């Protein structure tokens, strides 16, 4: 498929992981159609976990997509990144145990990345592993967190520091859910879409530059293609490196800087995609200082990030040591060496752990603050 052949109908692709492979279904109206959900249930017992923002919008519709014979329970958690804690995951385990659910139960994560990460982690641990299905309702979760099996919760000292790799049985992406997504959260999702172009696909990046207005206007064909291409790129990387021993680390472009912003500001005060957008620009700037990217390429990166409605400046009052103290806790670091994902050119990323500290310090001190 070329960039001009944007899909207008339901699309499916596969995450190839041997006997743990699973499909990603993308389209309009998937939530209430039993065709898409029922085949992936492990048994009759189903726990739907969602949050207070999503439940009034889509919980009833999702229930219509379950078979009549299913034994369904529901758990509605508080909304927001600040709830991504072990305490909230314990509420999921409480609900499962109180309902007497066994190893053939299925958890269904209905919501954004916070819900998906917590439900996946709960599924990985409950009775040493039960089935779960991702039903992401935000753009960010549709193109990123729902695919690949990374699950977990935040710790006060670092984002996603407690978790497990646990793959879903399926990912169902109903593009209709984006119609109720706040504009800021949609922009946050676009940060992850842009990331795929920056790290892996220069042609996709150029397509995004041309079609950003269409995406922000929720034009169905452009939206479906952007989601499909993002998911395909991530699926290919996950299939090659499920547990992030190599190429999968490239998916963290901007995340080491971005996670530091989130932790410093307090989880939820900056949206994840907003922090990643700034982090990607910081990575581009450092790549330029290393002699890889040109100044024009950095400017081009900034322009597409800005066109998505994302900030271009770090938080005011966040100094270089605030960044470094949190970046040193990043999971990618090995033997106390700070590992960063940088850009050799637009469309090609590398993992790099040899950036001179004075160069990094200067970037962190001089990068614009909002």
Q: Indicate which residues carry an active-site annotation.
A: 128, 150, 192, 234, 244, 248, 252, 255, 259, 272
Q: What are phi and psi of 5, to 5 degrees?
A: -90, 65
Whole-number Å distance between alpha carbons of 1 and 118: 35
Closest residue by Cα to residue 43 from 171, 124, 150, 133: 133
Whole-number Å distance between alpha carbons of 347 and 284: 12
DSSP letter at 157 equals T
Helices 357-366 and 272-289, axial angle in degrees (round to 10): 130
Beta-carbon contacts of 79 under 8 Å, excluding residues fewer than 6 positions away, are 51, 52, 53, 54, 114
Whole-number Å distance between alpha carbons of 286 and 99: 52
User: Count of alpha carbons within 13 Å of 133, Cβ hemisphere only?
Assistant: 26
| CA 236 to mean position of chain CA atoms | 15
């Amino acid at each position: 498929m070329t960039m001009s052949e944007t899909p207008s109908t339901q699309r499916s692709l596969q995450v190839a992981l041997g006997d743990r492979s699973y499909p990603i279904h993308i389209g309009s109206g998937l939530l209430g159609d039993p065709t898409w959900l029922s085949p992936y249930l492990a048994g009759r017992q189903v726990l739907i976990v969602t949050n207070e923002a999503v439940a009034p919008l889509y919980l009833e519709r999702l229930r219509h997509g379950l078979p009549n014979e299913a034994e369904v329970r529901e758990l509605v958690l508080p909304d927001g990144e600040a709830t991504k804690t072990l305490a909230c995951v314990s509420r999921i385990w409480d609900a499962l145990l109180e309902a007497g659910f066994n190893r053939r139960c299925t958890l269904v994560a209905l919501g954004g990345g916070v819900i998906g990460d917590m439900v996946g982690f709960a599924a990985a641990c409950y009775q040493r592993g039960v089935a779960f299905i991702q039903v992401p309702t935000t753009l960010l979760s549709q193109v990123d967190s729902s695919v690949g099996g990374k699950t977990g919760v935040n710790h006060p000292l670092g984002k996603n520091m407690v978790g497990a790799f646990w793959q879903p049985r399926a990912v169902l992406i109903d593009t209709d859910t984006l119609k109720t997504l706040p504009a800021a959260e949609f922009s946050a999702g676009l940060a992850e879409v842009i990331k795929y172009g920056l790290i892996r696909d220069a042609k996709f990046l150029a397509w995004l530059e041309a079609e950003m207005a269409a995406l922000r206007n929720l034009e169905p064909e452009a939206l479906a293609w952007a989601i499909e291409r993002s998911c395909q790129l991530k699926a290919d990387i996950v299939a090659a490196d499920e547990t992030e021993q190599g190429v999968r680390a490239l998916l963290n472009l901007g995340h080491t800087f971005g996670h530091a912003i989130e932790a410093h500001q307090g989880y939820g005060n900056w949206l994840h995609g907003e922090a990643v957008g700034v982090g990607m620009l910081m990575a581009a700037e450092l790549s330029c200082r290393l002699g890889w990217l040109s100044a024009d390429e950095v400017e081009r990166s900034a322009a597409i990030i800005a066109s998505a409605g994302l900030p271009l400046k770090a938080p005011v009052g966040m100094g270089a040591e605030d960044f470094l103290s949190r970046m040193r806790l990043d999971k990618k670091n090995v033997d106390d060496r700070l590992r960063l994902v940088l850009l050799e050119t637009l469309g090609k990323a590398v993992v790099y752990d040899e950036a001179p500290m004075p160069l990094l310090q200067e970037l962190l001190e001089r990068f614009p603050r909002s």
